[in-house]
Chain A
Amino acid sequence: DVKVTQSSRYLVKRTGEKVFLECVQDMDHENMFWYRQDPGLGLRLIYFSYDVKMKEKGDIPEGYSVSREKKERFSLILESASTNQTSMYLCASISGQGSYGYTFGSGTRLTVV
């Protein structure tokens, strides 16, 4: 089975901290995505990447950055965490040809206090 693994299920950080959320996929997928999920708002795209060292802004990139140094790993970085970034973060990947659809990780629930 394709697996997308997010390093932490639950995370509590303080306001102003730099936060790293890690995502690793094992199916050699070219495309990787970071979404945040909030009640009543569904999933909103933060950043995505179609190749190593490539990144593109999604719908809500403010306050976030990403890193893709290796094909299997896509990291989301909160430069200076704020309470309004408390949310569920979901990583997803898909092959460049779109085969078999997207695979999602289990999510990281981040609380910023």
Chain B
Amino acid sequence: GNSVTQMEGPVTLSEEAFLTINCTYTATGYPSLFWYVQYPGEGLQLLLKATKADDKGSNKGFEATYRKETTSFHLEKGSVQVSDSAVYFCALSEGAQKLVFGQGTRLTINP
């Protein structure tokens, strides 16, 4: 079955540092890939997505590229801010089917 493996946290960085959160997946077909973010006390919000190989999703300075050859979808940001502190989830789905999530990575940014 489909699965997502995500970099374990927690991750603590200083403001303006470079961020990478690794995500790899296993899928039988050609899934869409997502990054969701959960701020304290809130539900999940879609951060970015990519629907086919070599697509790059981007939003709020975050980027991730769908790499079929390495089955990866790593999240990156060049300069993080305190307001980026949250839990980040990598996920995949096929069509409008169920989402399969990684275990989540808690990110804390110190000023």
Enumerate chain A interface residues (CB-CB to B < 8 A).
4, 30-31, 33, 35, 40-45, 48, 58, 90, 92, 94-98, 101-102, 104-107
Contacts and interface: CB of A to CB of B under 8 A. Distances in A.
A90 B49 CA distance: 20
Contacts, number: 52
Contacts of B49: 101
Given A96-B96, A98-B96, A42 B102 contact: yes
A94 B89 contact: no
B42 to A, nearest CB: 6
A9 to B, nearest CB: 8
A105 B43 contact: yes
Q: Which of B36, B93, B99 has the most CB of A within 10 A?
A: B99
B96 A104 contact: no
Contacts of B93: 102
Q: Which of A40, A58, A101 has the most CB of B within 10 A?
A: A101
Interface of B: 6, 32, 34, 36, 42-46, 49, 89, 93, 95-96, 98-104
Scoring B43, B100, B103 by chain A CB atoms within 10 A of each residue's CB, the highest score goes to B43
Given A40-B103, A42-B102, A31 B43 contact: no
Contacts of A102: 34, 46, 93, 99
28 contacts: A30-B96, A35-B101, A40-B103, A42-B6, A42-B101, A42-B103, A42-B104, A43-B99, A43-B101, A44-B101, A48-B98, A58-B98, A90-B44, A92-B44, A92-B99, A96-B96, A97-B96, A98-B95, A101-B34, A101-B46, A101-B49, A102-B46, A102-B93, A102-B99, A104-B36, A104-B45, A105-B43, A106-B42
